[in-house]
Amino acid sequence: MKINAPYVGILKKIMPRTLFGRSLLIVVLPTILLQVLATYIFYERHWNNVARRLAQGVSGEIASVISLTDRFPGVEARESILSIARDQMRLTVSFEEGTEVRIPEDHSDDFGFLEKHMARELQNSLPGRAFTIKTNDRLETVNIRVQLPDHVLSVVVRDKRLFSSTTYIFVMWMVGISITLLAIAVIFLRNQMRPIRQLAEAAEKFGKGQEVEDFKPSGAQEIRLASIAFHEMKNRIHRQITQRTEMLAGVSHDLRTPLTRMKLQLEMLDDKEARDNLLGDVQDMSNMVEGYLAFAKGQEAESERPVNLAELVGEVCENARRQGALISLEGPRSISKKLRPNSIKRCLMNLIENARRYAGEIQVTLSAKEEYILITIDDNGPGIPEEKRQDVFKPFFRMDTSRNSETGGSGLGMTIARDIIHSHGGQIALGESPLGGLRIQLILPW
């Protein structure tokens, strides 16, 4: 069976978004349906039958009083009949002389549940007689007036004669059971949701590069398996990063020694042209080694701590200004953020240094949004074509036209910057700057 798209959209809007809400709905909805079904069956089968039989009893007693009055006329007999009705039938009966029963046109429209049953039984017990039924405001008594040949019979019946108190007990019992089951379900579901939230928080912190302490798996078996798998994944990633960093740092460090010897030997060559060419190649290799070491250093573990990000950005801009960059900074003076300051500083220095090499003007903007912090770096340089903006994040990638080996750099600056931002759970994006060059946007979550 296909469900129309509008109904699907409405269902998605009213459905709870959290797992706790949906699980609670799975528990509560069948309980409510069961209670409604049980109430309907009780109303149709039990309450309806009990009310009908109680009304039959009262109408039969009223009919008996009328029969006795017709069979035994006289004042003394009437007093005896009233005494019998009061003592044995628990009816308050009186005779109204000189009055008539006047039935309003909309009399039956005002009948409630009890009045309808009572009217139906009175019609069966007293065929052809006019009567009215009226309950008081508090629903404590029912006043029945029946037209007799020369007077009116007034009967006052307590509501307990027509209404079963077990109805309230049944309803309260059902409500109490429902509330108890709901409370137990809420407590149980919260206990089951706690390890899921713990795992989600750990995964989010790990994705942001924050230190995640090992926690004991708890909850259902599937949740325990997911927690164990997360711990194993985290340890494998840490081992791989550590091994890669150590290997890269070791190889880069070992290459420094032969490169230094090569420089010394080249200085002794008599052929100046050949010596300069070889020295240029050695210098390129040396720059690559320095890039390797900087990349490995960027992967070193550094603990997070609260830092005034505005001051840190200001220090990087001031250092670039001392190196001759025409740079401006806009933004608040204080933004407190928990991060790894040395890594963020290295990231900003790489990006601003690239801008300083190829642009005459740099504008840095810092802003704090509701869900993230935005750092924007604009320059008026040549920029980067859109089709190559993803390539610049590849290790050792350099653009031939504007960013070649003669300008310095090993092609790892953007790679290191991206890894640092990603390790903080953020994003880095490239675009066109209003100044005409490249715009770099760093997004750091709170």
389 & 310 share domain: yes
Name the β-bridge partners of 343: none
Does the pLDDT at position 279 exceed 80? no
Domain membership flag for residue 107:
yes
**Mean pLDDT, range 110-131, rounded to an integer:** 79
pLDDT tens by residue, 29-50: 888 888 778 777 776 666 677 7
C-alpha distances in angstroms, 212 versus 47, 233, 317? 61, 12, 32
Q: How confident is the model at residue 379 (pLDDT cuts 50, 70, 90)?
A: very high
Comparing 76 with 441, the larger pLDDT belongs to 441
Does the pLDDT at position 9 exceed 70? no
Per DSSP, the three-state class of 365 is: strand
314 & 403 share domain: yes
Domain membership flag for residue 176:
no
Percent of the chain with pLDDT over 90: 12
What pLDDT score does 446 carry?
Answer: 80
- Name residue, tokens 């603990």: 303
Of the residues 235, 270, 301, which one is the last residue of a structural domain? Answer: 301
Q: How confident is the model at residue 107 (pLDDT cuts 50, 70, 90)?
A: low
The order of strands in the sheet holding 438-445 is 327-330, 362-368, 372-379, 438-445, 427-432
Q: How confident is the model at residue 104 (pLDDT cuts 50, 70, 90)?
A: low
CATH value at residue 415: 3.30.565.10
320 & 438 share domain: yes
Of the residues 301, 334, 353, which one is the last residue of a structural domain? Answer: 301
Comparing 186 with 431, the larger pLDDT belongs to 431
160 & 30 share domain: yes
Domain membership flag for residue 241:
yes
Q: How many CB atoms lie within 10 A of CB 133?
A: 21
408 & 331 share domain: yes
What pLDDT score does 1 carry?
Answer: 47
142 & 122 share domain: yes
Domain membership flag for residue 397:
yes
Of the residues 301, 319, 354, which one is the last residue of a structural domain? Answer: 301
**Mean pLDDT, range 373-385, rounded to an integer:** 91
CA 191 to mean position of chain CA atoms: 17
What pLDDT score does 312 carry?
Answer: 93
352 & 363 share domain: yes
C-alpha distances in angstroms, 117 versus 128, 162, 261? 17, 9, 113
CB 156 within 8 A of CB 91: yes
What pLDDT score does 402 carry?
Answer: 42
Domain membership flag for residue 195:
no
Does the pLDDT at position 61 exceed 70? yes
Least-confidence region, from 126-130, 236-240, 283-287, 427-431? 283-287
311 & 399 share domain: yes
Both tokens of 317, joined, read 């801009």
Q: Which span out of 60-69, 389-398, 432-441 was modeled with the highest average pLDDT?
A: 432-441
Domain membership flag for residue 183:
no
What pLDDT score does 198 carry?
Answer: 87
Domain membership flag for residue 192:
no
CB 321 within 8 A of CB 327: yes
Which helix (H) or strand (E) is 38 found in, with range?
helix 19-41
pLDDT tens by residue, 295-318: 666 555 567 889 999 999 999 999
**Mean pLDDT, range 113-135, rounded to an integer:** 81
Domain membership flag for residue 49:
yes
Q: How confident is the model at residue 408 (pLDDT cuts 50, 70, 90)?
A: very low
Comparing 401 with 280, the larger pLDDT belongs to 280
Comparing 81 with 267, the larger pLDDT belongs to 81
pLDDT tens by residue, 186-235: 888 888 888 888 888 888 878 766 777 888 888 888 888 888 998 888 88
Does the pLDDT at position 405 exceed 50? no
18 & 97 share domain: yes
224 & 159 share domain: no
Range of the domain at 261: 203-301
CATH value at residue 294: 1.10.287.130
What pLDDT score does 314 carry?
Answer: 92
What pLDDT score does 112 carry?
Answer: 65
296 & 322 share domain: no
Q: How many domains does the chain have?
A: 3
Calculate the average pLDDT of the chain.
79
Pick the closest to residue 374 from 414, 428, 432 (CA basis). Answer: 428
Does the pLDDT at position 96 exceed 60? yes
322 & 247 share domain: no
